Amino acid sequence: MNRVLDLVAFIGAVVLGFVGFVGEVAIFTFNGLYRIFQPPYYPRLIGKAFMEIGYYSLPVVALTAVFTGMVLALQSYTGFSRFGAESAIASVVVLSVTRELGPVLAGLMVSGRAGAAMAAELGTMRVTDQIDALSTLSTDPMKYLVAPRLLAATIALPLLVALADILGVMGGYIVATEKLGFTSGTYLSATFTNLQAEDVISGLIKAAVFGFVIA
């Protein structure tokens, strides 16, 4: 009987802890969104966060996108050539990159680089009582520290993904024309024929969500 009660108590503690964590995250998210639209505004801090999250992440995102497009085209050719479906490589590359791989890979790269940096910076500020000092000076820490990063990341990720889409398709184009024997006109024609606006838009929306979640 005691073991059953202990098990029930353990499950209850886990559930209550999870619900409490979800509630804290929800409240934090709501406060961050509210502070974005509430004056005063800090354009300098937003610009600084945009540079740290977006501009400084360009090299790693660009390299990842180019080589992903190259590998995707090469491996697609390896599989499709067995069924005589080599003509589908262009559509597979452009749809995979714009709809899924671009947002996911850019989000992972930014999370590993900028996300870790933001966590370390704010963690250091908490340990050294800098956040408490902001409150003492009548400055809202959510407005001063959190809102600029949320806004900057939400804007920067779609821009990074747009660049990743272009570079990923370019990587597939390079491999297809230089290695796999495709003509430039044929590959580009197949790419633009199969690409639709909603493919790009869906990827950019995912990128904005990823940017907000990362921040």
pLDDT tier at 161 (50, 70, 90 boundaries)?
very high
Q: Where are the alpha helices (DSSP H) in 137-178?
A: 141, 147-178
Considering the entire predicted model, what is its pTM? 0.84
DSSP-derived secondary structure for 34-74: HHHTSSS--HHHHHHHHHHHTGGGHHHHHHHHHHHHHHHHH
Amino acid at 9: A
Q: 72 with 97: CB under 8 angstroms?
A: yes
Q: 147 with 155: CB under 8 angstroms?
A: no
pLDDT tier at 191 (50, 70, 90 boundaries)?
confident
Range 190-206 average pLDDT: 85
Q: 56 with 160: CB under 8 angstroms?
A: no
Averaged confidence pLDDT in the chain: 85
Lowest-confidence range among 56-60, 70-74, 138-142, 161-165?
A: 138-142
